[in-house]
Structure 1
Amino acid sequence: MNLKEIQEKHTKNKKHCPRCIKFHKGKTQRQCFSTLFKLSKEAGGIFADKKISKNLLFALGMAIVLLEFLPFILLGKNAVIPIHDQLDGEIFTYILHAKHFLEKDFPEFMNGMPSSALMMASPASVVFYLFFEPFYAFLANYFFVLSVAFAGMFLCVQEIWEKSWISFLAAVLFSQLPFYSVYGLSVMGQPLLVWVCVRIYCQKNTIWNYFLLFLFGIFSSLVLVGYADCLFLVLFTYSLYICRHPAKKYALYAALFLIVLYACQNRSLFFSRFVSHRKEKEVLPLSFKNAFTEMLLEGQYHAASLHKMILIFAVVVFLVCLLFYYELNKQQKKYLWGGQRYL
């Protein structure tokens, strides 16, 4: 059965697809792209997915992730670990918080300073330092962040695209980016947050969503990325209210949940009278133009993506794909949903 026959079969089909029933509440939508997609997969057409086990690819990806620990296994404490912003900074924060767990002061830090003077970038990561010595705690946290990075991207792409091999490639490539594990899920947990939003959009409103938000919140930093993520959730909620999407209230609950979690977790930032020594440091920011150009070409220092070499190629591929999609949409626009609101 070719694509034209599939389209004709779909046109004659007067039944609603499950997605139309859910989003359009039974309104007539005979020529729905999702049903065309389903029929094409059944006929082995252009949208057909190869029957590759999702679980097998996920396990293979985790095995690739584990290969990153081979140097640590072979070299042990002689393994090379970047010093900057890790061994010379954040590690000591976790060590002190673990040593003086739930205490208000650090007596050995600058002749005694309040614990709020050293805020942890990933508060829940201190758990590893409570049970292991610093080197093994660092590795445990590194493995946790790397695993969540792979799993989050895999599940997010799988939810959107439903092709296991694309999910596998995206997750493996993302997990291989250089990152600072001492910052927890602030960078590498972003796909996990997007996956939660996709689940909410698809009306998969379960307690699992709030568990993932809780996990992301306690392993990330409000001042590094949390404020931007909260703003993103607020805008996401607002867009659903504008579209009158059935899941709008669940998006609101998710946004409020993360905001309240960050507020409780960082209450010392709002109520403490401690003045940081960094207040005396003069910071000269770049102009907007220079900052934007540097971020576009080089990326952020703590979230390096090494994309400069492939940026031009990526732009060309994007434009070609956009043109292809436009032509495909032009030929088959009567089979697409269109810009209808969710009523």
Structure 2
Amino acid sequence: MSPFSLPSKPLHLALLGLLLFLLPFAILRERSYVTIDDNLDTEISIPYLLTRYHVALDYRPTAVVPPVMNGLPRNAMRSGLSVTVAVFALLEPLPAYLVHQALVRVLALLGMYALLRAHFLKRDNDKALAAGLALAWAVLPVYSMYGMSVLGQPWLLLAFLNLRQGRSRWTDWALIAGFPLWSFFVFVGPFVLVALAGLLLWDWQQGRGISKRVLLGMALLTILYLVVEYPLLYSLLIAKQFVPHRVEFDLGKLGPQTLAAQLKSAFLYFVTGHYHASRFFRGAAVLAVGAAFLLTPAAKRRAVLRQVLPLLVALAVVALFCGFAQQITDSLQRVIPPLRTFNLSRFHFLTPLLWFVVLVLSLRWLTSRKLQAAFIALQLLIGLGMNAEWLNNLRELAGRPLPDEPNYQAYVAPSLFADIQRYTMENAGPPALYRVACLGFPPSVAQLNSFYTLDSYQNNYPLAYKHEFRPLIAGELAKNAALRTYFDDWGNRCYLFSAELGRNFRVSARQHQQVQDWAFDAAAFQRLGGRYVLSAVQLQAPARSGLQLRGVFSARTAYWRVYLYEVVPSSSPKPGAAVGQKLPEISKFGLLVCKNG
């Protein structure tokens, strides 16, 4: 079956079901709940800033993103050759997110349906089964900002299975070539290639030979990823534009430390997966395997095991590897230092699709349509029941939102930050002339509201800047060993920390949180061009931190109450050393230090 053939009636019903799934977002619009952790607090602001400041396709070594970390090198951020970035170039952040998510999920449904009809459920009376499984796949909890990295994998598997069978339609090559344009290389690229190499080795061991078409497909996938990720690879490996902060990673200190904790982590990887790559309970697939084995005649049970057991063993091996990955990396990085910057555990991005393959292979052995439908319904309920974003939007519609899970409007709080910016505009001029940093809430909130922040949540930024920023928070890190490890041995969250808050990066207005003593280095803050601290908590002794309270801002629809603190005048730069004059020099210095590495 061609992936572009006309849809069947069951597929129409599945698409209708997906539209109903997406309907709460369309109704709520700005009141939609959007996943916050590792998403709204980082991923959504990145394509917004790249397109707003017209640097999405500017790959010159001197190009920077001005509002982030005193001019974050543009090539430290995601590639501009991305469908995701293109969507954000056309729309404002929230509409872009909602449209992008709808596109990802619709294509996910179509991709899974095409894969199943072409290779697993080919009979005419299997259309409803394939459509139900495709819908269950499309509603899984995923980070849609990662594009097709997870939900688009059925398209890629379809293309490679076609090539493996000796077919080579132009659509297969187009699917392989298009996948890098809508996925993250660091999340899936190397791991997909390893999996495909494993499939070729399996074929060779089974006496089928190695498919040259699959090898060519792997080469095409690699080449396209190199093209898409050229700016990052060029800046780090060839031009050595900057030394990434990731060279100081020591992930072994951040993961589970005891054997019991590592085994527990491996078990969780096996039964629920990882939240970045779709966390859902694998119970439907496991039960389906059991049902297929028990309900199949004894003479055919060995055939059932031959089909599903290799996949279950592979999933168990991946889970064990991921559970111990940080300790494995810790050992290997002593021999191969570059591994320090690479997360080997991301094989888990492949496991959702493998579990669905296990599920469909098991369902094929069941002769009862009702039992098949029951397992699909169970998987659908699991996906919906573990999709926190969808459930929180249902709560919003019902008028019963969770108090600590703000919707987009409350989280970004545009009216609140417009009031703050009116004040700072009168006293300090346009945002480009000064820098701010945030305490008690993510800097992405300020970035989405057009402030220039010294702090940020970034997967890649210059090590030199991390060292420049650390003195601001050194006093607080000294108070809390866990925070010190969190920053020094990881540091993607280059934030203002407070030992009293710990890792609470979301302090709401209703909490009325206070910090009694904040060891903040105002002089170091000024050296980086900082002028204002936007704090979601009240500082009981701001003078000891070198700050003065300038105002308290709140809004009815905002999740935050913001205390605006300014560096005390006595520690301001001398006349002639205006912040606006110094910032370009600081930005340039950060790049030069890294270049000389």
TM-score (norm 2): 0.43
Q: Secondary structure at the match of 1:177?
A: coil
Higher relative strand content: 2
SS at match of 1:203: coil
Q: Are 1:306 and 2:287 an aligned pair?
A: no
Q: Work out whether 1:326 is the aligned partner of 2:294.
A: no
Per the TM alignment, residue 314 of structure 1 is displaced from its structure 2 partner at its CA by 3.8
User: Take 2:283 and 2:195, find their aligned partners in 1: how far apart are those partners?
Assistant: 29
Report the 3-state secondary structure (helix = DSSP H, G, I; strand = E; otherwise coil) of the residue aligned with 2:158: helix
Partner of 1:154: 113
Alignment match, 1:275: 243
Partner of 2:548: none
Matches within 5 A, 1:127-206: 127-160=86-119, 161-162=121-122, 163-206=126-169
Alignment correspondent of 1:28:
none
Distance 1:83 1:329, change over 3 A: closer
- Residues 325 and 112 from structure 1, CA distance in 2 versus in 1: closer, same or farther, beyond 3 angstroms? farther
| Residues in 2 aligned to 1:196 and 1:251: alpha-carbon distance in whole angstroms | 9
Q: Counterparts of 1:61 and 1:210 in 2: how far apart (Å)?
A: 27
Partner deviation per Cα, 1:276-323 (whole Å, 9 max, x = no partner)? 334445423346634421201231121234225546534422432666
Which position in structure 2 is the counterpart of 1:292? 266
Are the structure 2 counterparts of residues 327 and 276 from structure 1 closer, same or farther at C-alpha, using a change threshold of 3 Å?
Answer: closer
Check conservation: 1:159, 1:198, Cα contact below 8 A. no
State the percentage of identical aligned residues. 24
Structure 2: unaligned runs, 5 residues or longer: 1-5, 305-597
RMSD, aligned α-carbons: 2.8
- 1:67 matched to 2:20? The reply is yes
Equivalent position to 1:226, from 189, 199, 202 = 189
Further displaced range: 80-89 or 227-236: 227-236
Residues 280 and 201 (structure 1), Cα distance of their counterparts in 2 relative to 1, 3 Å cut = closer
The DSSP-based 3-state class of the residue aligned with 2:29 is helix
Show CA shifts across 1:191-224 (max 9, x none).
1111112222333311111111122211111111
Change (3 A) 1:321 1:261: farther
Alignment partner, residue 79 of structure 1: 32
C-alpha separation between the residues in 1 aligned to 2:147 and 2:109?
A: 14
Deviation, 1:188, is 0.6
Structure 1 contact 150–171 (Cα < 8 Å) conserved? yes
Q: Which has the larger radius of gyration?
A: 2
How many residue pairs align between the two structures?
278
Relative to 1, partners in 2 of residues 1:265 and 1:244: Cα closer, same or farther, differing over 3 Å? farther
CA distance in 2, matches of 1:109, 1:227: 29
Aligned to 1:58: 11
Structure-1-length-normalised TM-score? 0.72
Q: C-alpha separation between the residues in 2 aligned to 1:131 and 1:242?
A: 49
Regions of 4+ moved over 4 Å: 238-247, 308-312, 321-325, 327-330
Q: Secondary structure of the equivalent of 2:226?
A: helix
Shift of 1:255: 0.7
Deviation at 1:81, TM superposition (A): 1.2
Higher helix share: 1
Per-residue CA deviations over 1:42-89 (Å, capped at 9, x if unaligned) read xxxxxxxxxxx9522222211211112211221121111111111110
Consecutive unaligned residues in structure 1, runs of 5 or more:
1-52, 331-343
Change (3 A) 1:270 1:327: closer
**Matches of 1:84 and 1:127 in 2, distance apart?**
23
